[in-house]
Amino acid sequence: MATDHQNPATKQKQPVASNFKLVIYEQENFQGRCHELTGPCNNIQEADVTKVGSILVLCGPWVGYEQPGCKGEQYVFEKGEYPRWDAWTNSRCSDCIVAFRPIKVDSQGHKIVLYENPSFAGKKIEIIDDDVPSFHAHGYHEKVSSVRVQSGTWVGYQYPGYRGYQYLFEKGEFKECSEFGAVLPHIQSVRRIRDMQYHPRGAFHPST
């Protein structure tokens, strides 16, 4: 059941009962009915939520999806307020979110290797414990067709400056771009996902 709207500041003062907590509001600016999530939701309509107008992340991080079953365009959410759809995406392709799941962040170290060709072939760029807003500035001008995440959790972006489509990279191997949700092998920036539990001074703050 959806609950009545409460002021976000009031809700943030309440004790957190779970390692993950996200509140969906059906209208922008945290108005209208709201629904609280503490675990995965493959289809918000099954939870009697008709639309996502704004999002309050009390404890995260989370990833949202454009399509049911955690498919389609991805949107990474870290602790904070998202008053309308353009606060969580600038791809300008869709304002629709219908699925959510928590992102497990259990490593303080971060290492990712991105490869030009599928199956970890061709030129590569290796990143350790750093955020890279532009691959071009680091001398890497190639496409990204496969990825190895050795530690940490990351989000890649279609364009420099953390813009465009987002791609979540959790620990493991992605042999081709379709395995991380991309239609084309275009990634030009990447950053670490660091939540307050493990990185109290490392939370990401998007520029306004």
The phi, psi pair for 30, rounded to 5°, reads 60, 40
Which domains does the chain carry?
21-102 (2.60.20.10), 111-192 (2.60.20.10)
- Please, what is the Cα angle at 110 between 131 and 77, to 5 degrees? 65
Distance CA 193, CA 168 (A): 9
pLDDT for position 18:
57
The helix (H) or strand (E) run that includes residue 65 is strand 62-67
Distance CA 150, CA 173 (A): 8
Query: What pLDDT, in 10s, does the model give residues 142-172?
Result: 999 999 999 999 999 999 999 999 999 999 9
Query: What pLDDT, in 10s, does the model give residues 15-46?
Result: 334 589 999 999 999 999 999 999 999 999 98
Query: What pLDDT, in 10s, does the model give residues 44-90?
Result: 998 888 899 999 999 989 999 999 999 999 999 999 999 999 899 88
Query: Where in 83-159 does DSSP place strands (E)?
Result: 99-102, 111-117, 121-128, 146-151, 154-159
Distance CA 82, CA 206 (A): 11
Kindly report the pTM of this predicted structure: 0.81
pLDDT at 13 over 80: no
Listed in sequence order, the residues at least 6 apart from 119 whose beta carbon sits closer than 8 Å to its beta carbon are: 146, 175, 176
